[in-house]
């Protein structure tokens, strides 16, 4: 069970990082800053990858029924 908690934490961290990327992208749009927009998009893509890896690493018995 402890491993499942660690994986759930990994998923939550990835989601938080994705939100951070969304905020950076929004700030880039508001400030008309292409570099900041690109950085936000990159961070979101990396976070989606991390989230998918963390979800895949969880045993199927620990996944919510929507993930099976």
pLDDT in tens, 1-16: 445 566 789 999 999 9
Contact 43, 3 (CB under 8 A): no
Gyration radius from the chain CA atoms:
15
Query: What are the Cα distances from residue 35, in Å, to 39, 41, 62?
Result: 6, 10, 39
Q: Would you place residue 68 in the very low, low, confident or very high pLDDT band (cuts 50, 70, 90)?
A: low
What would the pLDDT profile of 20-65 be if each residue is shown by its tens digit? 999 999 999 999 999 999 999 999 999 999 999 999 987 766 656 6
Q: Where are the domains of the chain?
A: 2-59
For residue 65, what are its two tokens?
């029924």
| pLDDT value for 41 | 99
Residue 54, number of CB atoms within 10 A of its CB: 19
The residue count of the chain comes to 68
For residue 64, what are its two tokens?
């919510």
């Amino acid at each position: 069970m402890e491993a499942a908690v660690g994986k759930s934490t990994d998923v939550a961290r990835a989601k938080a990082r994705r939100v951070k990327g969304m905020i950076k992208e929004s700030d880039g749009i508001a400030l008309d800053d292409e570099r900041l927009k690109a950085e936000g998009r990159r961070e979101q893509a990396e976070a989606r990858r991390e989230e998918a890896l963390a979800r895949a690493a969880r045993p199927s018995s620990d996944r919510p029924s929507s993930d099976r």
